[in-house]
Amino acid sequence: MTALLSVSGLRVGFGRDPQNHEIVHGVSFDLAAGETLAVVGESGSGKSVTALSINRLIDFGGGRITGGSIVLQRTDGSSTDLAQADEAQLTRIRGAEISMIFQEPMTSLNPVLTIGTQIEESFRLHRGLTGRQAKAAARDALDRVRIPDAARRLKYNPNQLSGGMLQRVMIAIALACSPRILIADEPTTALDVTVQAQILALLAELKRETGMSMIFITHDIGLVAGIADKVMVMQAGEAVEQGELNQVLDDPQHAYTRHLLHAVPHFSSGRATRIDGQRGTSASTEPALKVDGLVVRFPVKGGLFGRATGAVHAVDGVDFDLLPGETLAIVGESGSGKSTTARAVLGLEQSTRGAFTIGKAAAAAEGVRPMQMVFQNPYASLNPRLTVQSILAEPVIASGGRTDARTLSRMTKLLARVGLTEDCLQRYPHEFSGGQRQRLCIARALMLNPSVVVLDEAVSALDVSVQADVLELLVDLQQEFKLAYLFISHDMAVVERIAHRIAVIYAGQIVEIGEAASVLAEPRHSYTRKLIAAVPAIDRRHETFEIDMRQVPSLVRPLGFEPQPADWQSFGPDHLARTEAPDGAKPLVTDDA
Amino acid sequence: MNYLTGRLVTFPLVLLGVSLIVFIAIRLVPGDSITAMLGTEAGLLTPKQREALAAYFGIDQPWFIQYWRWLYDLFHGDLGVSVTYGRPVLDVILERFPLTLELALLSMIVALLVGVPAGVYAATHNEQPSDLGVRIIAMVGQSTPNFVLGLVIIYILSAGFGILPVMGTFTSIWQDPLTNLSQMILPAVTLGFAFAASVTRISRSAMLDILKDDYVRTARSKGASSRAVIWRHALPNALIPVVTLSGIEFSYLLGGAVIVEQIFALPGLGRLVLDAILQRDYALVQGTVLFIAFNVMVVNLLVDLAYATLDPRIRLGER
C-alpha cells in the first residue's frame, strides 16, 4: 500500500539565500491513511517548519523548500508533489485535503468576523455552499466538535469564547470539508491541562469517526503517548529517530530521544515526591508564613456613573501555613486565583480581607525582607538596561541599604551559589540564556535574606532540560537557607518533584490541601481527580479521557455575596478536602466565556 | 446608549471651556474693533465718540461681564452680530459651512479611494520596486506643502492645457452640481493628496503587521486565495488605524483650509476666521471657533462609533 503522504529528503531554508540558511536538513517520513504521526522536538528543532512545509504555508513565512519532495495521494487517485505545486493548486488542497490547527487559538481566528462566518468560509471555498446551506453546514460542524448550543454560538465573535472553545472552533473549521490529513501544530500548548485533555479526546474521537490521518507536532513527549501511532523525534532540523510509539518510548535508540525522555519530569501519581524536609521532621514548628481567610475581590463596574454592580471573587477565603524549609505548591488552572493569592501575599495586590502572619524571627531581624518573589518570564523580569550588579543591588537600595563591600560580597557569594561566575556582575541580562537569567532572578530574590520565596510559575518558561537544573538548584538553596517556598504552578509533574505539600485551588478557593504524596496518590476532591487524570504521562498510552461539557463557573458574584463557610473532611494526618455537594461540583453561575 | 449619553453630557462642558479660552485669547491680541475698523483715523475720535463706539461694539465693559452677556445670549440661541458683515454670526457661518464641509468630504473621499488601495498594494508587494515607488510618492505627498501642489496644478492646467480653474462666484452644489464640482475638484485633490499620502503610509504599515498575524495564516490554511485573504480577512482589521487618522485629518479640514481656500478663491470657514481675527470681529471669531469645536467633537464621536462597528472587541463605554 502506498502512503497517503510521503515526504522524502525535505530541505527548507529561509531568507534571501535559503540554501545557506537551511533550517530543515533532509527529513523523510511516510504517513499512512488513518495513522497519527507525532513529531517531537524542542524549540528550534524544525518541527513546525516541517509541518508548515507540507501545505506550503511556509512560503508566507519567508521559507523556501530547497530540496526533496512531498507526495500527496489525492482524493481522485492521482498524486501531486506539493513541493512543486503552484499556488492555485495549493489553495484547492488546503482546507479540502490537508487542514491545519495551530498553537494559539486566541489569535488564530479573525477577531472581526463571527465564528459562523469563518466556518462557512470553508464550505463556500471548497463545497460551493452559500446562504442558508452554508449556515446549516457550519452549525453541523460546530455540533460535531461538541460545542453546545451551536446555532447561537455561530453569531459569536472570537473574543466571546474561551481558549478551549476557540480551539474546538478551529478544529471545526479544519475538519469542515473532511480533509484526509490534519496537521496539528502544538494545538494544546496554550491551554490548561484539563482543556488539553478535552481537545486530545475530541481529536481522537473525530479521528475514529472520520478515519483521517494526523500529524501532531509537540514539544511534550508525555503527550505523544496518548495519541500517536508513530513518533518522529527531531533535533536541529533532522529526524534523529522514528518508529512505532511503543518502540520509541520503551526502547529509544538515539541519545537525544533518551535525553528527552529523561529530562522531562514525568508525572507518576505521587511516587516521585520529595523525601527530605517533611513536616514534623524539623524542630521548628513556628510557621514562616501563615495566611488566614485571604479574600481578594475586584469590583465590576457598570452603569452610567461606574457604580460597582458586582465583584470578581478572585480569591475567596484561602488559609494555609508554611513552615521554614517547606514547599507549598499551589496548583490550579488559569483564572483559578493562584497567582492572585501569591501577589496578595506579597502585597502586590490589595487584599480585601484576611490576615498574614510572618514568622517572628524573620520579622525581627535587621536588613531582612521576609518575602521575595521570582516571576515566570526571566526575559521580561530583568531590566535590560541595568548590569547584573545594579540588578542585584536594587533590592538592597530599595530597602534603604547601599552598595557597600558587604553587599558586594553577598552578591558574589550568591552568584557563585546559583552557579554563575563573579565576572557576570558587569554584564547585561541579554548576554545570558533563559536558565541563567532565572538563576539571576533567584539570586536577586535571595539578596535580602528572605524567609519565604514566592515562585510564580518560575520554571514554566524554561526548556525541559534547563528546568530540571533550576529545580535542583531551588531544592539545594531551600535546604541550605531553610527557605520556605510558595510554589505556584500548573504543571503537576514539576510540582510532584518540588512540593512537600500541595494546595489545589479552584474558582478562588482551596478545595484540597495536604501532604504531596497523599494528595497526588489519593486525590479526594472531584476537581483534584479531574486535574490529575488530565495530566499526560508516557505510561498512559491510548488512555481515553471523558469529554466533559461542563463550563467553568464564573467568578463574578453579586454585591455582598458571601460563600458558604468551608466544610472540611480529613483523610489522614495531613490531608484535607472540601466536602462537595452530593450532585458533584455544581457550578454556581454558568458563563459562556 | 449609555456611552452616547455620557459623551453628549461632556459636549457643553468642553464648549464652555473652549469659548472661555477664545474669549480671553482674542482680547489679549493688541488693538480692538475700533482701530481695526477705522485704522489711523481712530486717533481722530474724541473720547466721547470713542466711548459711544465702544458701547456700540459692546466692549465698554470688563471682559467677564462681556463674557457673561455673550453666554446669556448664546443660551437664547443668539451668537451675536458680526461687525464686519453687519449680520448675525450664525447666518454668516452657515453660509460658509457647506463649502467647507463639502471640501473636507471630497478630500477624504479622494484620500481613501487612493490611499487605501495604494497602501494595500505596497504592503502586498513589500520590498519590491513597486512598493518602493508607492512609498516614495507617499513620502513626497506628505512633505510637500499643499499650496505648492495647488499652484502646480493650476500652472499645469492653464499653461499646458489652457484650462483655467473655474473661479468667480462660488456655486453651491444645490444650485448647480456640475459647476460646483468643477470648482471643487481641484482644491479637493490638492488637499486630498497629502491626506492620501498619510492614509497610504498608515494602511501599508497596518497591513504589513496584520499579514503576519495568526488568523491570516489560518485563512490561508483553509484554502482562501491571496485576494480573499487580503480583502476579507486582513483589510477590515487594518482599517482601524485608517479611521483614526481620517478622523483627525477630517476634523482638521472642518476648521477650514486657509491657504487652499485662498489659492482657489473659495469662501470657506478658514478665510472667514482669518478675516474675523484681523478685523477684531470678536463675536464672529467666538462664534466660528465654537462652531468648529462642536464639529470636531461630533467627528470624534463618529470615529468612536465607527471603531465599535469595525471591531466587535471594542465595546464603547468600557475601560
The total of other beta-carbon atoms located within 10 Å of residue A505's CB is 24
Distance from the Cα of residue B294 to its chain's centroid:
12
Contacts of B35 (CB under 8 A, 6+ apart): B42, B280
Q: Vertex A475, ends A472 and A476: CA angle to 5°?
A: 90
Which is more confident, B310 or B218? B218
Burial A6-17 (b: 16+ CB within 10 A, else e): bbeebbbbbeee
Q: Do B2 and A304 touch (CB under 8 A)?
A: yes
Mean predicted lDDT score pLDDT of chain B:
84
Distance (Å, rounded) from C-alpha A369 to C-alpha A347? 13
Report the first-to-last Cα separation within chain A, whole angstroms: 46
Contacts of A91 in chain B (CB under 8 A): 223-225
pLDDT category, A485, cuts 50, 70, 90? very high
Q: Which residues on adjacent β-strands are paired with residue A190?
A: none
Residue of B nearest to A161 (CA): B313
Residue A306 has pLDDT above 70, yes or no: no
**Phi-psi bin for B219: left (phi > 0), alpha (psi -120 to 50), beta?**
alpha
Report the C-alpha dihedral over residues B3, B9, B10, B15, rounded to 10 degrees: 140
Contacts of A104 in chain B (CB under 8 A): 214
- Nearest alpha-carbon partner for B188 in B244, B291, B298, B264: B264
Contact A219, A186 (CB under 8 A): yes
Task: Give the B-side interface with A, CB within 8 Å.
Answer: 2, 5-6, 211, 213-215, 217-226, 228, 232-233, 236-237, 310-313
Q: Is the model's pTM score more than 0.95? A: no
Calculate what percentage of chain A has a pLDDT beyond 90.
32
Residue A53 three-state SS: helix
| CATH, range B89-310 | 1.10.3720.10
Contacts of A122 in chain B (CB under 8 A): 222-223
Q: Do A92 and B223 touch (CB under 8 A)?
A: yes
Looking at the complex, report in whole angstroms how far the Cα of residue B305 sits from the nearest Cα belonging to chain A: 15
Looking at the complex, report in whole angstroms how far the Cα of residue B208 sits from the nearest Cα belonging to chain A: 12
Grid cell locating B149? 501642489
Out of A93, A112, A170, closest to residue B312 by CB: A112
In the predicted model, what is the mean pLDDT of residues A412-427? 89
Residue A98 has pLDDT above 90, yes or no: yes
Residue B70: per-residue pLDDT: 84
Residue A593: per-residue pLDDT: 35
The total of other beta-carbon atoms located within 10 Å of residue B56's CB is 12
Which amino acid appears at position A478 of this protein?
Q
In the predicted model, what is the mean pLDDT of residues B98-109? 91
Q: Which residue has the cell 490531608?
A: A575
Residue A590 has pLDDT above 70, yes or no: no
Q: Which residue has the cell 513552615?
A: A323
Contacts of B223 in chain A (CB under 8 A): 91-96, 122, 125-126
- Nearest alpha-carbon partner for B221 in A171, A62, A70: A171
Residue A241: per-residue pLDDT: 93
Residue B219 has pLDDT above 90, yes or no: yes
Worst-scoring range by mean pLDDT, B55-69, B80-94, B264-278?
B55-69
Out of A108, A126, A303, closest to residue B218 by CB: A108
**Radius of gyration (Cα) for chain B, nearest Å?**
24
In the predicted model, what is the mean pLDDT of residues A246-274? 85
In the predicted model, what is the mean pLDDT of residues A217-238? 88
Residue A142 has pLDDT above 80, yes or no: yes
Residue B86 burial by Cβ neighbours in a 10 Å radius (0-12, 13-18, 19+) = exposed
Q: Do B219 and A110 touch (CB under 8 A)?
A: yes
Spell out the domain ranges in chain B.
15-75, 89-310
Grid cell locating A550? 461542563
The total of other beta-carbon atoms located within 10 Å of residue B169's CB is 9
pLDDT category, A550, cuts 50, 70, 90? low
Residue of B nearest to A304 (CA): B2
Which amino acid appears at position A242 of this protein?
Q
Worst-scoring range by mean pLDDT, A149-163, A339-353, A554-568, B160-174?
B160-174
Looking at the complex, report in whole angstroms how far the Cα of residue B215 sits from the nearest Cα belonging to chain A: 4
Residue B167: per-residue pLDDT: 62
What is the side-by-side strand order in the sheet with A238-244?
Answer: A98-101, A181-185, A213-218, A36-40, A230-235, A238-244
CB pairs under 8 A between A and B: 80
Q: Beta strands A230-235 and A213-218: pairing type? A: unpaired
Contacts of A112 in chain B (CB under 8 A): 236-237, 310-312
Looking at the complex, report in whole angstroms how far the Cα of residue A101 sits from the nearest Cα belonging to chain B: 8
Grid cell locating A271? 511516587
Residue A293 three-state SS: strand
Mean predicted lDDT score pLDDT of chain A:
85
Looking at the complex, report in whole angstroms how far the Cα of residue A276 sits from the nearest Cα belonging to chain B: 46
Residue A592: per-residue pLDDT: 39
Residue B50: per-residue pLDDT: 79
Residue A529 has pLDDT above 70, yes or no: yes
Residue of B nearest to A107 (CA): B214
Contacts of A248 (CB under 8 A, 6+ apart): A231, A233, A241, A242, A257
Residue A52: per-residue pLDDT: 92
Q: Do A121 and B222 touch (CB under 8 A)?
A: yes
Residue A264 has pLDDT above 80, yes or no: no
**Interface probe with A: pick from B207, B222, B243, B313, most Cβ of A within 10 Å:** B222
Q: Which residue has the cell 469517526?
A: A209
Grid cell locating A298? 475586584
In whole angstroms, how far apart are CA A23 and each of A5, A38, A215, A491? 21, 19, 19, 31
In the predicted model, what is the mean pLDDT of residues B162-184? 73
Distance (Å, rounded) from C-alpha B79 to C-alpha B77? 7
The Cα diameter of chain B in Å comes to 87
Task: Indicate if ipTM > 0.85.
Answer: no
Contact A42, A237 (CB under 8 A): no
pLDDT category, A591, cuts 50, 70, 90? very low
